[in-house]
Structure 1
Amino acid sequence: MLEILLDNKDGNVWDLSEIVTDVTWTTTRVGRPASVDFTLIDSGIYQDRAFAINNGDIVRFRMGDVNAFYGYVFSIKTNQDAEISIKAYDQVRYLLNKDTYVIKNVTTGDVIRKIAADFNLKVGRIDDTGYRIPSMVEDGQTLLDDIEKANTLTMSATGRFFVFFDDFGELSLRDVTSFQAGFYIGDGSLMTGYDYGRDIDQDTYNKIKLYRDNKDTKKREVYIAQDSAYIARWGLLQLYESVDEEKNAAQINEMLTQLMQLKNREQKSLKIDAIGDIRVRAGMYVPIIIESLGINQPMMVDEVTHRFDGADHTMSLTLKVI
Structure 2
Amino acid sequence: MSNEIKELDYSSVRPQINVIYYTDKKITYLDGIIQDISISGDVAKSCRTCEIAFKNTSDGRSRLIDIKMGKEIRILYNKNELFRGIIFNNDRNERGEETITVYDPNVYLSKNSDVIKENNITASELIKKLAKSFGIKIGRIDNTGHKIPKLYIAGKTLYDMIIIALTETQKATGQRYMLRNNKGALELIAVKTATKWLRVEGGRNLISASYKESIDEVKTKVKITSGDEFNPTQTAVAGGTSEYGTMQHYEHNSDTNNATNIQTLANQLLNAWNKPKTEMDVETLGVADIVSGIAIIVQNALTGLKGSFFVLADNHRFTADGVHTMSLKISKTLDLPYQEYEPPQENNSSGYDIYEGGSTLKANYESGWIATAYDPALGGINGSGDYKTTASGTKVQANRTLAVDPKVIPYGSIVAIKVPSMPQYDGIYLAEDTGGAIKGKRIDILIRGKKNTANFGRRQVQVAIIEKGQGKADARAIASKWPSTKKKIQEQLNAPPKQSAAASSKAQKVVEIANSYKGDLKYKFGGKNIASGKGDCSGFTYYVYKQAGIDIGHGTSTQVAKGKRIEKAHAQPGDLVFFQGTYRSGVSHVGIVTRQGYCVSLKSSEPFCDEHSYTTGYWGKKFMEIRRVL
Instruction: Give the Å deviation of 1:73.
Output: 0.6
Q: What amino acid is aligned across from residue 291 of structure 1 in structure 2? A: A
Q: Does 1:302 align with 2:312?
A: yes
Higher Cα radius of gyration: 2
User: Alpha carbons of 1:231 and 1:153: their partners in 2 closer, same or farther (altered >3 Å)?
Assistant: farther
User: Alpha carbons of 1:267 and 1:174: their partners in 2 closer, same or farther (altered >3 Å)?
Assistant: farther
Of 187, 209, 229, the match for 1:194:
209
Whole-angstrom CA distance in 2 between matches of 1:73 and 1:268: 36
Q: What is the match of residue 293 of structure 2?
A: 283
Of 264, 267, 270, the match for 1:235:
270
Of 291, 312, 320, the match for 2:323:
312
Give the aligned length. 268
Alignment of structure 1 residues 5-20 onto 2, 5 Å: 5-8=20-23, 10-20=24-34
Q: Is the 8 A contact 1:267 1:321 kept in 2?
A: no
Deviations 1:76-97 (A, max 9, x none): 1220101221111111111112
Q: Does 1:55 align with 2:69?
A: yes
The two structures have a TM-score, normalised by structure 1, of 0.73
Deviations 1:182-232 (A, max 9, x none): x2242456332233357999xxxxxxxxxxxxxxxxxxxxxxxxxx99975
User: Alpha carbons of 1:198 and 1:145: their partners in 2 closer, same or farther (altered >3 Å)?
Assistant: farther
Alignment of structure 1 residues 183-222 onto 2, 5 Å: 183-187=197-201, 190-196=205-211
User: Alpha carbons of 1:52 and 1:280: their partners in 2 closer, same or farther (altered >3 Å)?
Assistant: same
Q: What is the match of residue 353 of structure 2?
A: none
Q: What amino acid is aligned across from residue 309 of structure 2 in structure 1? A: M
Whole-angstrom CA distance in 2 between matches of 1:47 and 1:13: 24
User: Alpha carbons of 1:321 and 1:134: their partners in 2 closer, same or farther (altered >3 Å)?
Assistant: farther
Alignment of structure 1 residues 1-322 onto 2, 5 Å: 1-8=16-23, 10-42=24-56, 51-96=65-110, 97-177=112-192, 180-181=195-196, 183-187=197-201, 190-196=205-211, 232=267, 234-235=269-270, 269-292=279-302, 294-309=304-319, 310-322=321-333
Q: Is the 8 A contact 1:104 1:134 kept in 2?
A: yes
Instruction: Give the Å deviation of 1:293.
Output: 5.1
Q: What amino acid is aligned across from residue 310 of structure 2 in structure 1? A: M
Whole-angstrom CA distance in 2 between matches of 1:50 and 1:291: 50
Q: Is the 8 A contact 2:210 2:303 kept in 1?
A: no
Whole-angstrom CA distance in 1 between matches of 2:264 and 2:199: 35
User: Alpha carbons of 1:46 and 1:282: their partners in 2 closer, same or farther (altered >3 Å)?
Assistant: farther
3-state SS, counterpart of residue 184 of structure 1: strand
Between stretches 171-180 and 93-102, larger displacement belongs to 171-180
Instruction: Give the Å deviation of 1:235.
Output: 2.5
User: Alpha carbons of 1:152 and 1:187: their partners in 2 closer, same or farther (altered >3 Å)?
Assistant: farther
Whole-angstrom CA distance in 1 between matches of 2:63 and 2:305: 56
Instruction: Return the structure number with greater strand share.
Output: 1
Q: What amino acid is aligned across from residue 75 of structure 1 in structure 2? A: N
How much identity, in percent, do the aligned residues show? Answer: 24
User: Alpha carbons of 1:103 and 1:178: their partners in 2 closer, same or farther (altered >3 Å)?
Assistant: farther
Between stretches 131-140 and 46-55, larger displacement belongs to 46-55
Q: Is the 8 A contact 1:22 1:307 kept in 2?
A: yes
User: Alpha carbons of 1:155 and 1:288: their partners in 2 closer, same or farther (altered >3 Å)?
Assistant: farther
Q: What amino acid is aligned across from residue 58 of structure 1 in structure 2? A: E
3-state SS, counterpart of residue 171 of structure 2: helix
Instruction: Give the Å deviation of 1:129.
Output: 2.3
Q: What amino acid is aligned across from residue 235 of structure 1 in structure 2? A: L
Instruction: Give the Å deviation of 1:116.
Output: 0.6
Instruction: Give the Å deviation of 1:38.
Output: 0.8
3-state SS, counterpart of residue 281 of structure 2: strand
Q: What amino acid is aligned across from residue 297 of structure 2 in structure 1? A: P
Whole-angstrom CA distance in 1 between matches of 2:277 and 2:172: 20
User: Alpha carbons of 1:121 and 1:2: their partners in 2 closer, same or farther (altered >3 Å)?
Assistant: same
Q: What is the match of residue 208 of structure 1?
A: none
User: Alpha carbons of 1:178 and 1:60: their partners in 2 closer, same or farther (altered >3 Å)?
Assistant: farther
Q: What amino acid is aligned across from residue 99 of structure 2 in structure 1? A: S
Deviations 1:53-112 (A, max 9, x none): 200111011211432211111111220101221111111111112111222222221121
3-state SS, counterpart of residue 280 of structure 1: coil
Q: Is the 8 A contact 2:73 2:85 kept in 1?
A: yes
Whole-angstrom CA distance in 2 between matches of 1:230 and 1:277: 45
3-state SS, counterpart of residue 299 of structure 1: strand
Between stretches 42-51 and 189-198, larger displacement belongs to 42-51
Instruction: Give the Å deviation of 1:19.
Output: 1.4
Whole-angstrom CA distance in 2 between matches of 1:131 and 1:118: 22
Whole-angstrom CA distance in 1 between matches of 2:328 and 2:28: 31
Q: Is the 8 A contact 2:298 2:305 kept in 1?
A: yes
| Structure 1 unaligned residues grouped into runs of 5+ | 202-227, 238-264
Higher relative contact order (CA 8 A, sep 6+): 1
3-state SS, counterpart of residue 31 of structure 2: coil
